[in-house]
Structure 1
Amino acid sequence: MTTSSPSTVPSSGRDLVIRPLDGPEELDLFLRLTYSLDHELADDLATGRRLPQWMWVALDGERLLGRLSWWTGTAGSAPQALDFLDLDPGLPPEERAEVGLRLLETASAAVIPAGVRPPEFSRYMPADWRDVPETRSVLESVFGVLESAGARPLVERLRLEWLPGTPVPEPSGRLEFRPVRDREDLVSLMTPVMEGTLDAHGKADLASGLSPREAADLHYDEEFEHYSSPRAWWRVALLPGSGEPVGFVVPARNNYHHTIAYIGVLPAHRGHGYVDDILAEGTRVLAAEGVPRVRAATDLGNVPMAAAFARTGYATFERAINYVWDAPGASGS
């Protein structure tokens, strides 16, 4: 890994300084550009989910032209996602592209070890981002920077929200529910759900060579294992009488929000509308806790799941997009 000393790079006639933050006391500098996750940064720094050396800025004198940051879900772990990449909307598109690429390449060379595939990029966007010319222009500059650095778009997702006061369907009686017993209980149900999944991340895991069981193990270990919320919230759906498992739902609280973290219907029981019953149960679990909101997400292309969320009272409030690198980037070579 290279050092993170400041880099002065000529850019369109500018003496562009690219460097990491000196420490948390420079957060105000980073906040000169804006993004919807800005309010989380101070706590992320305090808890170790971000480090100053992962938060980079591109400066022309006192003017902040660009910024980026990596994030991890667990303090002490390697960067798990690149979730900030912002460019000054006042720059011409060509200059935004140049500044952004130099920033990303310089920061990546210092933070991502040589030969390591860069973490996935994740970005939240207004639901109507394509219809607002200014927003679309800035976002397309960001996407262009990523693609110039060797990334490709993986998926665009709907971000969904259920708010207290929204009616939740009453139990239909078609299914019964019990708590998840243990890790194996859930992973053994996740495994067949991975087969034929419509989820882009799941498909990418299988395409990488993981078996459905290995993909389920990875998902559990990287995400569910770290939830601090009660595992008693997790539910398995059963056919009344026989007790045969039909599916499952994982209501939880991540580092920021209560969420429907995962929902699945086993292949043998798809096509009967059980997803509505299972999603409603997961929502009822969280609603009974008096949570301020429930968040969820599904791929834009997963039309059946999006429709189920809509029927259960979830509204789309944002979109998200993910870019991935299929190999170590040039900056890490």
Structure 2
Amino acid sequence: MRVRNINYTEIDLYTNMLPYEGSRLKDILSSWLEKGITRLDWCFVIEDNNKFLGRIIYGVFDDDLDILNIDFIDAPKEAMEKLLCHSVKEMGLKGFSKIINHLYSDKNNFKEYKDILLKIGFKITQEKRSFTWTQNYIKESSKRLIFKSLEDTGQMEYIEAIKEVTEGTLDEDDLSSIKEIGYKKAAEKYFNELKDIDFNKKWWKLAYTGDNDLLGLVVPQRFNEDTGAINYIGVVPKRRGNGYINDLLIEGTRILSENNITKIIADIDVKNFPLEKALMDQGYKFDCEMLVMKLSL
């Protein structure tokens, strides 16, 4: 077995070796390559007698190196471990200092991936619960909020809003980032990470009360043709506990649904019980567990 990078002539074979969450990985990979999120020398394959056994794709969102995809075809554990160890070493030689991976419990080989990642030095930094919405109706909004898009407010106002809603957050990943670089830089970093995923200024909303006081925000984003996510949502501290999170969820869900998104994902920290309750109240259903795993190179 050997590990190597792929070339352009192998993209079809590489992306079709296994299905990818109901979508065409070729289209997604092409988009990542076009946007500079990944490069072919960040795409690795392990093969045996010219047969592809597994693939791993790395990508960068705001200078953070993420594992974007791991997949194997009935590969033995030694193939999984060899691909991960070799590719991690190669990415370290390219100057990266940290790798992040989001691992979902409904994915094939979840336990094997988790065990191997832990074995080679990854640490579990956050446990999340993933919820999905696949209904064809949306609850009525209370209409007590005024929504303005990022197109209306501008980037600096939106970053300031992110800073405000992360105060007192229950999200372990946000807390870690705030502790490391402070509220303002953490907000700027997260804004840029979200931009790299999907940047539709009309969809990103800030919410205000009738007297134009900031209430919170919601960031609905498209992943592919029919799948999207409520990728960030929050209420400012002084307004929490009044059910406003439901208004934000309804707005984000409405935007995605009206733009032909039929599956909406929301990943939340296991300790975020208020948001979990709100998601279930709005028709979201628990789907799977998710681990955030990080490795310092």
- Structure 1 residue aligned with 2:217: 248
- Structure 1 residue aligned with 2:88: 108
Aligned Cα RMSD in Å? 2.9
* Cα pair 1:55 1:68 within 8 Å, conserved: yes
Alpha-carbon displacement from aligned partner over 1:228-285 (angstroms, at most 9, x marks no partner): 42x2333322233x33222121233346643322111001111122111221122223
Which residues of 2 match residues 137-286 of structure 1 at below 5 A?
138-166=109-137, 168-180=138-150, 181-207=153-179, 209-224=180-195, 227-229=198-200, 231-240=201-210, 242-254=211-223, 257-286=227-256
Task: Return the offset for 1:35.
Answer: 5.8
Count of residues paired in the alignment: 290
Instruction: Give the structure with higher Rg (CA).
Output: 1
- Gap runs ≥5 in structure 1: 1-15, 130-134, 329-333
Distance 1:225 1:67 in 2: 23
Residue 225 and residue 146 in structure 1: after superposition, are their counterparts in 2 closer, same or farther (change >3 A)? closer
Structure 1: 4+ residue segments shifted above 6 A: none
* Cα pair 2:65 2:96 within 8 Å, conserved: no
In the alignment, which of 35, 47, 67 is matched to residue 82 of structure 1? 67
Task: Return the offset for 1:42.
Answer: 0.9
Residue 185 and residue 78 in structure 1: after superposition, are their counterparts in 2 closer, same or farther (change >3 A)? closer
Alpha-carbon displacement from aligned partner over 1:162-196 (angstroms, at most 9, x marks no partner): 23523x22122443333341112211121122222
- Structure 2 residue aligned with 1:7: none
Distance 1:149 1:172 in 2: 50
Report SS of the residue matched to 1:196.
coil
* Cα pair 1:24 1:52 within 8 Å, conserved: no
User: Within the alignment, does 1:21 sit opposite 2:6 as a pair?
Assistant: yes
Q: TM-score, normalised by structure 1?
A: 0.75
- Structure 1 residue aligned with 2:273: 303
Q: TM-score, normalised by structure 2?
A: 0.83
* Cα pair 1:70 1:79 within 8 Å, conserved: no
Structure 1 residue identity aligned to 2:160: S
Distance 1:38 1:53 in 2: 25
Report SS of the residue matched to 1:53.
helix
In the alignment, which of 54, 57, 70 is matched to residue 69 of structure 1? 57
Task: Return the offset for 1:78.
Answer: 7.0
- Gap runs ≥5 in structure 2: none
- Structure 1 residue aligned with 2:103: 123
Residue 24 and residue 203 in structure 1: after superposition, are their counterparts in 2 closer, same or farther (change >3 A)? farther
Q: Percent identity?
A: 23
Report SS of the residue matched to 1:232.
coil
Residue 165 and residue 84 in structure 1: after superposition, are their counterparts in 2 closer, same or farther (change >3 A)? closer
